[in-house]
């Protein structure tokens, strides 16, 4: 039989990760990118811990029946706050990525303009390869699934 300590470990890992996600989101909004490096190792550790405890909770759902309904409600509220923090963090990361992408595009456009490179010359190099296609030799098709298995 599973122990109620599974719930406590899950709650603590969720709260720890949520605090770090909120801190990272604030740093992203303030554009303090140099400070983010120190958070990444801790974020990875907390994410691994959270995943481990979440997996344990899913293996033993009966432990939720062992705690009072008030505690279940509180756990649900913490989980909802965690999901909001995760969503905010993902949006902030995406926003920062998009902003960096725009800056790089502006720099590339400026360099092209200074060097007199036209849009026609850019097209002669062909379509930019992205995703798995970027890792395959030119002219070789990417196979998502091999039929030989």
Nearest to 46, CA basis, from 62, 23, 27: 23
Tell me how many domains the chain contains: 1
Predicted pLDDT of residue 9:
95
The answer to the question of residue 146 being in a domain is: no
The answer to the question of residue 136 being in a domain is: no
Nearest to 52, CA basis, from 22, 82, 12: 12
Tell me the two tokens of residue 113. 């303009």
Task: Confirm whether pTM is higher than 0.75.
Answer: no
Alpha-carbon span 6 to 60, nearest angstrom:
9
Provide the domain limits for residue 23. 5-96
What are the pLDDT digits (tens) for 54-95?
A: 999 999 999 989 999 999 999 999 999 999 999 999 999 999
The answer to the question of residue 138 being in a domain is: no
The answer to the question of residue 46 being in a domain is: yes
Predicted pLDDT of residue 144:
54
What are the pLDDT digits (tens) for 30-41?
A: 988 888 888 999
């Amino acid at each position: 039989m599973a122990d109620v300590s599974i719930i406590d470990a899950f709650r603590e890992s969720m709260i720890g990760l949520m605090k770090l996600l909120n801190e990272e989101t604030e740093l992203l909004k303030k554009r303090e990118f140099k400070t983010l490096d120190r958070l990444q190792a801790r974020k990875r550790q907390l994410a691994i811990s959270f995943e481990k405890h979440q997996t344990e909770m899913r293996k033993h759902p009966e432990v939720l029946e062992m705690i009072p309904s008030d505690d279940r409600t509180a756990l649900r509220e913490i989980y909802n706050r965690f999901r909001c923090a995760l969503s905010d963090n993902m949006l902030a990361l995406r926003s920062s990525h998009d902003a960096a992408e725009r800056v790089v595009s502006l720099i590339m456009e400026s360099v092209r303009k200074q060097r007199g490179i036209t849009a026609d010359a850019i097209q002669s190099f062909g379509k930019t390869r992205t995703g798995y296609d970027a890792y395959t030799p030119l002219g070789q098709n990417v196979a998502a699934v091999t039929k030989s298995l």
